[in-house]
Amino acid sequence: MKISAPKFMTDWKTGVVTGPEVQGVERRVRDLDGVFADEGAFSQLRPDRLVYRTACVFPVPEGTEGGVFWGTTFIEPGTVGAEYFMTKGHFHAKADRMESYFTFAGTGLLVLMDTARNCWAEEMTPGSTHLIPPYTAHRTVNTGDDVFSFGACWPSDAGHDYDSIAESGFSARAMRVDGSPVLVPA
């Protein structure tokens, strides 16, 4: 009976995932119109500058009940005015679905918002492990000077609701104030 080599490898220092079916998205400045507060500063950035990218493994089609998806997000260091580079953020389409995050490299914030628009954040540092509650929007922010990377594991039927955030945003923004991250009401 057969013993096979592992199909996927994860580098725990960087979060880089290798394997035959690793796929992801890239979000560049041109993909993030309307996300950051300072439109003047945003317009000065090179449109093809990378802000973040993902490398994920999807063993079953999105929407399948009972599966788990797994992957790494890499956020580049940078700011738009005083606001740190960050992901768009989303609720899950099936809003009760949870998710777990675990940090590989760099420093950041996990910004969370419930359906009543209460907003809070958790610091992310290498090894930090986070549980995203049901009905909670989540966004990650690179507050450091190096690439910030973290793994995520989430149900394959969770889906993404980006529209609620595109319309109403989060109720707070992660800004650099005197060199440190502060969560400022939006």
Residue range at the interface with a copy of itself (CB under 8 A); choices 30-38, 47-55, 63-71, 73-81: 63-71
Sign of CA dihedral 11, 97, 161, 83: negative
Q: Out of 25, 26, 115, 131, name the contact with a copy of itself by CB under 8 A.
A: 131
Work out whether 172 is an interface residue with a copy of itself (CB under 8 A): yes
* The two three-digit tokens of residue 109, written as one number: 């914030």
# chain residues binding a copy of itself, by CB under 8 A: 59
Which of 66-92 are b and which e, b meaning 16 or more Cβ less than 10 Å from the residue's Cβ?
ebebbbbbbbbbbbbeebbbbbbbbbb
Burial class (CB in 10 A: 0-12, 13-18, 19+), 131: exposed
Q: β-strands 108-114, 136-142: how paired?
A: antiparallel
Residue range at the interface with a copy of itself (CB under 8 A); choices 48-56, 82-90, 150-158, 159-167: 150-158
Distance CA 104, CA 65 (A): 28
Work out whether 185 is an interface residue with a copy of itself (CB under 8 A): yes
Beta carbon of residue 130, minimum distance to a copy of itself (angstroms, whole number): 6
What value, to the nearest 5°, has the Cα angle with vertex 93 and ends 89 and 97?
90
Q: Out of 23, 43, 44, 100, name the contact with a copy of itself by CB under 8 A.
A: 100
Beta carbon of residue 98, minimum distance to a copy of itself (angstroms, whole number): 4
| Positions in the binding site for a copy of itself (CB under 8 A) | 1-13, 17, 19, 57, 59-60, 65-68, 70, 94, 96-100, 102-104, 109, 119-131, 133-134, 153-156, 158, 172, 181-185
